[in-house]
């Protein structure tokens, strides 16, 4: 299965799950809750407010990785990124900031893998937001104390 067939499938459009594809084209579904949705919005608003009109916030941003299509809960793409890639679905390169909101069903290993995958696809930072709202920032150097892009 490819990403186009997933997003165009009428049976999958109304599911209350985050959908991704693994490297074999199998559908992965993660249940989400209202806390997850709120954290997703608040994180996007935080980035938008800090970076003003220098880019776009993308919720549920699909990115083709070496392990299939992964969907960052929130992403920030600079104006330059949008000028080059538009709103291609999925992106073949990751936007500058990719954010994962941790769900109860996510494991640490899964989050570590997503950090690596997004950075390998060109993200400058990957943020992991825990269920209690704590944010952990990662760059190619490893975990960093705070975002270097929100200045």
SS (H, E, C) 62-79: EEEECCEEEEEEEEEEEH
The ranges assigned to domains in the chain are 3-141
- Other residues' Cβ atoms within 10 Å of the Cβ of residue 136: 16
Overall CATH class of domain 3-141: alpha beta
One digit per residue, pLDDT tens: the chain, 151 residues?
777 887 788 877 777 677 777 888 887 777 778 888 899 999 999 999 999 889 999 999 999 999 999 999 999 999 999 999 999 999 999 999 999 999 888 899 999 999 999 999 999 999 999 999 999 999 999 999 999 999 7
| Contact predicate 100/111, CB 8 Å | yes
Q: Tell if the pTM clears 0.75, that is, is over it.
A: yes
Nearest-angstrom CA–CA distance, 141 and 18? 29
């Amino acid at each position: 299965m490819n990403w186009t067939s997933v997003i165009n499938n009428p049976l999958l459009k109304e599911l209350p799950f985050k959908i991704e594809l693994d490297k074999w084209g199998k559908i992965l579904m993660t249940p989400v809750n209202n806390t997850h949705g709120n954290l997703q919005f608040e994180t996007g608003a935080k980035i938008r407010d800090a970076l003003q009109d220098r880019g776009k916030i993308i919720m549920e941003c699909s990115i083709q990785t070496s392990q299939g299509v992964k969907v960052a809960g929130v992403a920030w793409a600079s104006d330059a990124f949008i000028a080059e890639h538009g709103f291609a679905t999925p992106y073949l390169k990751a936007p500058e900031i990719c954010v994962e909101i941790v769900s109860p069903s996510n494991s640490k290993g899964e989050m570590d893998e997503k950090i690596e995958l997004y950075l390998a696809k060109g993200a400058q930072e990957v943020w992991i937001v825990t269920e209690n709202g704590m944010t952990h920032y990662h760059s190619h150097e490893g975990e960093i104390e705070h975002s270097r892009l929100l200045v």
